[in-house]
Structure 1
Amino acid sequence: MVVGPDFMTEVDEEHFDEVDALLKAAFPTEAEARLVKKLRADGDMLFEVRKPWEGRIGGYFALSRMQAPEGWACLAPMAVRPEWQGGRLAERNPNMEAAGLKDQMCRGPWRFGSRMLQQLQSYYEVFPAGLQERLPETIVVLGKPSFYGRYGFSLERAQKLISPYPLDCTLILRRGVDVPEAELIYPRAFHDGGC
């Protein structure tokens, strides 16, 4: 029995409309959908990932190339189908209750965003050096430290960065324990915003 969403896969051009629909449903405005289109058009998209479940996209995130520092990426946007956020997919899944897993229904395997971030974190922590060398040196995210901090992103390690966005919601994921000093220059598509 499969417990939880399917494995993450890359987004291909055939998935663009599905991603666009997810972004428009998951956010109050179409800003994130426009951001993704602009990142693609500008050639700043490193890669896009989707997490399907039963033939539908459930979760998505994009990594785009920072203008500076070289080799760094930005995680944005990240989205989960609204009706499946917060473990609600598990709450309505009769297979979980029938299998005697009712107490585990809202744990990690059914939380799309959490599961995607856990997999991203594992790439930096447990995968062989060959794969790690193909990853961006550092991934920057703007968001809630209480959420992203559970998945290897560090608020403390970002505090010596110079950013157009508030440092109280800027976190980084990278190997090691250093506190880098650098100026963050986001892709052109990020012309305004914050956390």
Structure 2
Amino acid sequence: MRPFPPAVFPDLVDALLRSAFDTGAEADLVRELRADRDIATEITFQEFGELLGYAALSWMRAPDGWLCLAPLAVAPKVQGRGIGSKVLQLTLKWAAERDLTIVVLGDPAYYEPRGFSRARASALHAPYPNDHLMLAGPGGNVPEARLVYPLALEPR
């Protein structure tokens, strides 16, 4: 069994996610990932005691030892200040220190300049469209693997 980190300020994270996205889906997702014990770590950015940025890394069901990044959020009032990039840098550093691979489904214009690669993800088989699938982690290989997300992130 993988170690489970304690929930990081659950009420503050919930409020941040609800303010950063149009619906409560991301907040519900994090609650479900926590309940399923799939979260590997939660990265936060705070300033003067206020939670301004957040990212969750969850364990993939396959390949073993891989992580997926979802969600990444920044408080609306501070978007555009580079906080999302800082949270992402901390997330990548955390994974690199543990020699772990991260998969993300998102906007290539945002994630590719910050360390993720669509080219490295090109041989992955995912339940989502591959044009927004990116990979970060050790090596420069193009792994061929079938991605099986945590249950909370599986298509419904």
> Is 2:45 aligned against 1:74?
no
Relative to 1, partners in 2 of residues 1:31 and 1:152: Cα closer, same or farther, differing over 3 Å? same
SS of the residue 1:157 aligns to: helix
| RMSD (Å), alpha carbons | 1.7
Superposed displacement of residue 23, structure 1: 0.3
Rg larger in 1 or in 2? 1
Q: TM-score, normalised by structure 1?
A: 0.73
Aligned-partner Cα distance in 1 for 2:6–2:36: 17
Q: Deviations over 1:66-99 (max 9, x none)?
A: 0000000000001000110012xxxxxxxxxxxx
Q: Tell me the matched-pair count.
A: 152
Preserved CA contact (<8 Å) 1:79 1:113: yes
Deviations 1:33-59 (A, max 9, x none): 010000000011111111001110000
Return closer, same or farther for 1:50/1:12 CA change in 2, 3 Å cut-off: farther
- Name 1:166's counterpart in structure 2: 129
SS at match of 2:109: helix
Q: State percent identity of aligned pairs.
A: 47
Partners in 2 of 1:160 and 1:83 — Cα distance?
Answer: 38
Of 18, 27, 32, the match for 2:12? 18
Cα distance in 1 between the residues matched to 2:94 and 2:31: 26
Larger % of strand: which? 2
Structure-2 change in CA distance of 1:174 and 1:38 (3 Å): same
Instruction: Describe the shift of the 1:161–1:30 C-alpha distance in structure 2 as closer, same or farther (beyond 3 A).
Output: same
- Structure 1 residues 14-53: aligned runs within 5 Å: 15-53=9-47
CA distance in 2: counterparts of 1:43 and 1:123, whole angstroms: 19
Please give the TM-score of this superposition, normalised by the length of structure 2.
Answer: 0.91
2:55 is aligned to 61
Alignment of 1:6-155 (within 5 A): 12-13=6-7, 15-87=9-81, 111-123=82-94, 132=97, 134-135=98-99, 137-155=100-118
Unaligned runs of 5+ in 2: none
Q: Which runs of 5+ in 1 are unaligned?
A: 1-10, 88-110, 126-131
Partners of 2:95 and 2:57 in 1: CA distance: 15
What does the per-residue CA deviation read over 1:126-173, in whole Å, with 9 as the maximum and x for residues that have no partner? xxxxxx2x34x2100010111111111101000000000111100010
1:191 alignment counterpart: 154
Q: Take 1:118 and 1:178, find their aligned partners in 2: how far apart are those partners?
A: 21
CA contact (8 A) 2:55 2:88 kept: no
* Deviation of 1:120 (Å): 3.2
